[in-house]
Structure formats: C-alpha cells, structure tokens
Chains A and B, each alone.
Chain A
Amino acid sequence: MSDIKRKLLVRGDKSFKDVSDDICNLVERMPGFKWVGGFLGAKSLFLFYLTVIGIIVTTGMGLMGVNHPVGWGTDIVTFVFWVGIGHAGTLISAVLFLFRQKWRTSIARSAEAMTVFAVMTAGIFPIIHTGRPWLAYWLFPYANQRGPLWVNFRSPLLWDVFAISTYATVSIVFWYIGMVPDLATLRDRSKNVWRKHIYGALSLGWRGSAKSWTHYEMVYLLLAGLSTPLVLSVHSIVSFDFAVSQLPGWHTTIFPPYFVAGAIFSGFAMVITLMTIMRIAYPKFKDYITLDHMELMNKVIMTTGMMVGYAYASEFFIAWYSGSKYEVYAFSNRAFGPYWWSYWIMVTCNVFIPQVFWFKRFRRSIPVMFVVSIFVNIGMWFERYVITVTSLHRDFLPSNWGMFKMTFYDFGVLIGSFGMFLTLFLLYTRLVPAVAIAEVKPVLHVGKEEEATHG
C-alpha cells in the first residue's frame, strides 16, 4: 500500500445517470432570479461597453488617453490582459490532458469557455486601437488593388494577428468538439421538440459508436498536442510586440517565458473567480468542482506567481548588469518614478498576496481564494500597465517625456469589457453543459478503490 492516496475526483458516489442529471439540469430548468439578475447586470454593462466603443469609433481616438509619447494605452494593456486570461483554459484542456491529469475533466469545459470568451473580448481591443476599425481587414494579407501592397510580415504586430486568429479559431473548435457528445446527451434527454432539434443540429447527429469514439479520442489528443505549442507561441508572440522593439524596459529576452507564466497565473486566477461563483450559484457543482480541484489550482497560482516574481527581480538584475544607463533608468523609474504606485500594486497583488497559499487552510478556503484571485486579476492588469506605460512615458530623451492619463473612455472600455465577458459566460452556463459529462463519467471511479482500502 502506498501512502499516496488518490483523492476522489467526483464526490457523492454518483452513478452515470446522476452525472447526466446533475449537469444537464442546469440547462434544462428555467433560470432563477439570481441568474436573471446577474445576466441583466452583465448585459447592461455590455450595452454600456458597446455605447462607449460606438462613441470612440465615431468621434475618434482623441477621446482616449493615448497620445505622444504614450501611444499604447488602455486598449493594448487590456488586450494583453484578456489574452493572458484565455491561456489558462487551453493549459487546463490541452497541457493537463497531455500530462494525464485526470482532475482537469470537471473544470476543462468552463475553463475552455473562459478561453474562448476572453479571446473574443481581447480581439475587440486592437481593433478599437487601430482607430479606424472599418479598415481592420487591412491587417490580413489579401490581394488588393494597391500594388498589391502586402502586409509587413517582419512586424510582430502582424505575427500577433496570425497568432490570435489561429488561437481563437483553434480554441473554438477544440471547445466545440469537446462538447459534441454532451450536446448529443442533451438532445436525447430533451422532451421539447425545438430543444431536440436545436441540440440535434448542434451535436451534428453524434451517436457515440465505438468507431467514432476511436476517431474522436484521436482528434482530441491531436488538438491537445497542437494547442500546447500554440498557446505557448501565442503569448510569446504577444510579448514580441514589446520585446522586438528597441525601447528600454521592453527590449528583453525574458519576455516570452515571463509572459507565458503571467498568462497562466492570471488565467488560473480567473478560473478560480468563476468557479467559486459557479459553486455558490449551483451547489450541485460542488460535487464535481471539489475543494481538491480548487486547491490544485491555487497551487498553480502560487507557483506561477513566484515565477512572475522571479521575472520581476531578474529584469532589475539584468538592467543593472547590462551597464546601459537607459535600462537602469527605465527600471528605477518603474519602481520609484511617477508610476511607482502601479508597480507596487503589481508586486503586492502578484508576488506577495499569493504567498498565503503556502498554508493549506487558505488554499482550501473559498473566501480566501476568491479574494486572492481578484487581487491577482487586478495585479495582472497592472503588470501590463506597468510594462506598457512606464516604458513609454520616459524613453531616451527627456524632451520626449510625458505622462499618460486615463480618461472616462479608457475606464469605460476597461470596465465594459467585463460586461461582454460575463454576458457570454452567463449565457454559456445556461445553454451548454458546463461540466464535460462524457469526460467526467470515465473518472467517476478514480479514488474509490483507495477510499475503500484506506477506510
């Protein structure tokens, strides 16, 4: 008997039917007041967001804080923030799948949904940032009548277009393919004719024959294998937007791994935020998304938080070690210059606060993890703010220095984007199974044998 004991992945001694009932029930019953209230709130925020975007687009970018010398502002900061959040979903669904981490099954679906919605939310920002969104199609290499004048493939910004669009489409497809068998479950359970037709169409007529499952599992493995390098490449390429430039504070080789660690960090924090709320809103899910799952995610948060902390420290060391006075100034200005507060908010939220997870009590406490996850979300937004704004506002020539001030419209798009994200997420919880039914059923037995022998 080994001393390491597998924990139960699903609590409550569920049968296969219980799993289908518990998870489908959420989709099949009428939404309660809490959901409707939450949805109306999120939707209003979404409408506010659309209005703000509408005003910015019709009036002009002058409404936002970006100006010389800080040409990248809230739009880019928030874009990187949302893309980063998306990465945890792919990490859970693809990387943990490749590592055969069975605990991923019950959170994978929602984490992937979070990925898809976060990337959709992120995608809006560069388009606003262009200032002329109606010309956004110029970003793609299409045969045009200006030469044809092709896009500049040497630009990291164009790499980003390719990375984000590949990532968005592959994530959507991965999420959807994972959902097909569950949609078939919903179809076969439905009494209502319309429901049967809609889920019948969405499930593509999936039946679950042995041969289909062989192909299906193979494709799932292939997509996981393709998504893993993809997710690492996407945030590396996002970091190239900065790192490939010449600006002190941006021009560093640590950026790709540092950005990827930060993305996982912020994404897991968002998963914790959403899962704590989901567990409270639908108590049945506590059997599937157990405290053990939450604890494991908190361990990931603490680990990646320390990686990010290491990156912060290493940047300072390298700035000093480089002997370049511009580098040294960029970093001392970051911590002690006019934007010192943003730097210390970042360090506090990302490095210090997650240290509470050294204690098992706090790792397993829902209120503590919820609060920490919110802090991490805030901290990770500030990380991108620090990188973008503090590097731009004082570069080589003091005559070229300036300050960045966020306007109402900056705050509008930042806060409003949460309205879009939450609206999509709330709709998702009611329209498709929020836990992967076909993936949870095979792991029902995990931990049961040990439980029996250990008593």
Chain B
Amino acid sequence: MDNHDSNEVVSEQNASADVKSEKKLVKESKNKVNRLKKNKPKKTKSSNHTGGVMGIWDDDHKILIAAKKAKTFGFKKLDAITPFPVHGMEEALEIKRSWIPYVTFIMGVVGCAAGVWLTWWTSAVDWPINVGGKPMWSLPAFMPIIFEVTILFAAHSSVLALIVACGLPKINPPVVDPDLTSHKFGLFVPENDEGFSFERVEKIFKDLGAEKIHRVERY
C-alpha cells in the first residue's frame, strides 16, 4: 500500500478545452473516492471499462518477459498496450489467432460470386447484346471483372472486420499513459481477474521490474 496516491493516474477526459483543470478535479475526486472506499475498485458507469493495475516497462523485450512471468501467477485476462506489435506477445498472453481470415475468405467467395452474377445477368440475361459475335456468356472476357470484384470485396471486408474486431472507432478512449503509443509498454491486469488485488498485482509488477505502476480507474 505504498504511496499509491502518487502513482494514481486518471484516465484523461479531454473533451473540454481546459483539460488541465478538469484533470486536476477528476484526480482529486478520485483520490477521495479511493480513500473512502479503502481501495475497493470503483466501477465506472460504463461497464465496458474496468479498473485494474498497469505496469509500465520501457522495452519490448522486458515486457515480453514480464508478460510470460505474470501469466504464471494465474491471471487470465492480462492485456498489454504497446506502441508496436511485440512479437511473442500472442503466445505470452495466450491470445487466439485472429478470426479475420475467415471473413476475408468468405467475402472473397461472395465477391467472386457477385462478379460472376453481375457479368452473367447483365450481359446474358437482362439485356443480351451481340458484341462482335461473341457468345453472350463469354466467361474469359469477364475474368478481369470477376477477379477485381473478388479483391474488392475481400479487401474491404477485411478492413471492416478489423474495425469490428478492435471495437473501432472508439470515442475518447481512456489514455493510461500517453507514452504507450510512443516508447512505453504497458501490461494490465483488470480488477475482475482471478486472484486480483491491487497489492498483489503491484507487488508482482514491482518484482518483474516495472518502471512505473499505475492504478487505473477506467481501462
């Protein structure tokens, strides 16, 4: 329970122009709440955002080691925030392979079918016109169109799937530490994880060499 007040970091709510004063206010009010509740984690109104503890490391190798070791303490819902993809993090945090390729494949097939249907229906069914004596249903001539439509569907639906998978766009996402998109690497244990207590996680992170430890209200 050592001086967590100084480590108190508050999600920034930057909607208003004078960010600084608002930040200060929020910080004070939250300090108060914490003292009152004796460090019981406070639920925010939005159930999507849980609190927890985040440890910050300054190198991708260090956070990878920390993540692997933290996993041995039995946490199930570990998450990391990094400025770039850290390789090995998927294995360390046991994140499943992305499901997006299935979307790409299915939409590619749909696009291909759409291309076939479009060229066939317009050229051979709806308004068949004899062009240079070629057959109405002249598949070789339609291949470029079918191919392009396939790619069009597959590429754009993959991107849409990414947006869905990552929950984008996020309006005013909580920023635990602005350096996390630049040169710091954060490992996070949410308060609803197995075996979570602020003290325990803080101690684990400290032992794992975190350079900073934040108590996060809204993640």
Chain A contact residues, CB within 8 Å of chain B: 15-17, 19-20, 141, 147-154, 156, 158-159, 162-163, 166, 169-170, 173-174, 177, 181, 184-185, 187-189, 193, 196-197, 200-201, 204-219, 222-223, 226-227, 229-230, 233, 237, 240, 437-439, 441-442
Which residue in chain B gives the minimum CB-CB distance to A436? B84
The one of A15, A141, A442 that contacts B122, using a Cβ cutoff of 8 Å: A141
**Interface stretch of the complex, out of B38-46, B180-188, B209-217:** B180-188
A153 cross-chain contacts in B, Cβ below 8 A: 119, 122-123, 141-142, 145
Of B60, B119, B173, which is in contact with the most chain A CB atoms at under 10 Å from its CB?
B173
10 new A-B contacts, CB < 8 A, other than A197-B14, A207-B181, A214-B85, are A19-B183, A148-B126, A150-B126, A154-B123, A154-B134, A204-B163, A205-B172, A208-B181, A210-B90, A211-B79
Q: List 28 A-B contacts (CB under 8 A).
A: A16-B182, A16-B183, A17-B183, A20-B182, A148-B126, A148-B127, A152-B131, A153-B122, A153-B123, A185-B83, A185-B181, A193-B17, A205-B172, A207-B173, A208-B81, A209-B79, A210-B79, A210-B89, A210-B95, A212-B166, A213-B82, A214-B85, A215-B98, A218-B97, A218-B100, A229-B147, A237-B148, A240-B144
A439 neighbours in B (Cβ, 8 Å): 84
- Residues of B bordering A, CB below 8 Å: 14, 17, 19, 60, 79-87, 89-90, 93, 95, 97-98, 100-101, 104, 118-119, 122-123, 126-127, 129, 131-132, 134, 138, 141-142, 144-145, 147-149, 151-152, 154-156, 158-159, 161-163, 165-166, 168-173, 175, 178-183
Contacting pair B79 A216 (CB below 8 A): no
Neighbouring B residues of A150 by C-beta, 8 Å: 122-123, 126-127
Give the residues in chain A near B181, CB-CB below 8 Å.
Answer: 181, 184-185, 187-188, 206-208
B82, A188: Cβ atoms under 8 Å?
A: no
Residue in B19, B83, B172 whose beta carbon sits within 8 Å of that of A193 in the complex: B19
**Which residues from chain A contact B60 at a C-beta distance below 8 Å?**
442
Residue in contact with B148 in the complex, picked from A147, A163, A215, A222, CB distance below 8 Å:
A163
- Whether the pair B83, A438 counts as a contact (CB closer than 8 A) is yes
Contact of A154 among B97, B138, B151, B161 (CB under 8 A): B138
Q: How far is the CB of B12 from chain A (nearest CB, A)?
A: 10
